[in-house]
Amino acid sequence: MNQRRSSLGKDLVGLELLTAEQILTILNTAEPFKEISERRIKKVPVLRGKTIVNLFFEASTRTRVSFEFAEKRLSADTVNISSSGSSVVKGETLVDTARNLEAMRIDMVVMRHGSSGAAKFLAERIPSSVINAGDGNHEHPTQALLDMLTIRDHFAKIEGLKVCLVGDILHSRVARSNIYGLLALGAEVAVCGPKTLLPLGITELGVTVFSRIEEAIQWADVLNILRLQLERMEGGFLPSLREYNQVWGVSRTRLEQAPKDLLILHPGPMNRGVEIDSDVADGPHAMILQQVTNGVAVRMAVLYLLAGGAPDTAEAAKGGVEV
Ligand code: CP
């Protein structure tokens, strides 16, 4: 599809291998796209004629709907496929599914998959652009990009900020993508959670580890609170959810001990009363719904850039210029 070379390459599989310049290009390209979602008619012809398949093999609300809105607001033709409604349940392989979709002349695949590495595996086997919408516990690049855009909106910078990812780091693709992206942009990054939910060798990624939530709250400018991924735990990770909340939960009482107001992020879906209390989730410093709003603009930017759109023409593109 890409007659013009994309500044990101063919695919967006993760943030690990992106340069700071490429990450900033995505964030900066998202800025002009924010306004499209505020219009009465939320549509521009930027991706007219492009066909995008959203292939979701795992449950999703935010990412799936956000990609679909982004695609539709850029006038792409979209098709949604879930594993339960596809021939995967009859034993068809991922590559065969994708090749059959390609035979119908598609341009991009947005894929969520339960296996780490699935997006790269597919990207290496089909000529269409592949965007990773979350693969196992590997990466969730567009989530981290929208987290970073939300942080930058608030502080007008990322470099030098102290960002702590709290909770279930072990199972979190969001944590991994945030660590790569934030470090690339010059933030200081820490993780905080029970030892059983921290990956071995996590410090080798360049992050600080806090073993008490109280210490993290004293240190950080931003807390990005992660969901306990109970569906990926087979037991033995935690004594009980109640105890987890008592020891690790982010509560208003705990935040009141912070030396400054902390920006509160959560990628969702939230377990209220477990990793985050409702008065924090709904409190004045939570940007959780702003993250969701920014997700549409970030995904528009990724789609636009992968389709070959030039970063410096995003403003013009929103006025009606096609890629
Ligand atoms: N943050 C996130 O990935 O949410 P969904 O699982 O609802 O897409």
Mean pLDDT of 171-200: 97
With helix as H, strand as E and coil as C, how does the chain read? CCCCCCCCCCCECCCCCCCHHHHHHHHHHHHHHHHHHHCCCCCCCCCCCCEEEEEECCCCCHHHHHHHHHHHHCCCEEEEEEHHHCHHHHCCCHHHHHHHHHCCCCCEEEEEECCCCHHHHHHCCCCCEEEEEEECCCECHHHHHHHHHHHHHHHCCCCCCEEEEECCCCCCHHHHHHHHHHHHCCCEEEEECCHHHCCCCHHHHCCEEECCHHHHHHHCCEEEECCCCHHHCCCCCCCCHHHHHHHHCECHHHHCCCCCCCEEECCCCCCECCCECHHHHCCCCECHHHHHHHHHHHHHHHHHHHCCCCHHHHHHHHCCCCC
Q: How far is the CA of 3 from the centre of ligand 1 (A)?
A: 32
pLDDT, the chain, mean: 94
Quick check: 165 pLDDT over 60? yes
Q: What is the pLDDT of residue 236?
A: 67
Among 34, 64, 73, 140, the one annotated catalytic: 140
Q: How far is the CA of 134 from the centre of ligand 1 (A)?
A: 9
Kindly indicate the confidence band of residue 144, based on its pLDDT and cuts at 50, 70 and 90.
very high
Residue 62: active-site member:
yes
Q: What is the pLDDT of residue 314?
A: 80
Q: Output the ligand 1 site: residues, CB below 6 A.
A: 60-63, 134, 140, 143, 267-269
Find which of 112-116, 238-242, 308-312 is predicted with most confidence, using mean pLDDT: 112-116
Kindly indicate the confidence band of residue 293, based on its pLDDT and cuts at 50, 70 and 90.
very high
Q: What is the pLDDT of residue 2?
A: 47
**pLDDT tens per residue across span 150-163:** 999 999 999 999 99
Domains and CATH numbers, the chain: 20-139+295-311 (3.40.50.1370), 141-290 (3.40.50.1370)
Residue 19: active-site member:
no
Among 25, 29, 51, 63, the one annotated catalytic: 63
Quick check: 254 pLDDT over 50? yes
Quick check: 86 pLDDT over 70? yes
**pLDDT tens per residue across span 189-247:** 999 999 999 999 999 999 999 999 999 999 999 999 999 987 766 666 777 899 999 99
Residue nearest to atom 5 of ligand 1 (CA): 60
Q: What is the pLDDT of residue 1?
A: 46
Q: What is the pLDDT of residue 121?
A: 96
Residue 140: active-site member:
yes
Among 10, 34, 50, 112, the one annotated catalytic: 112
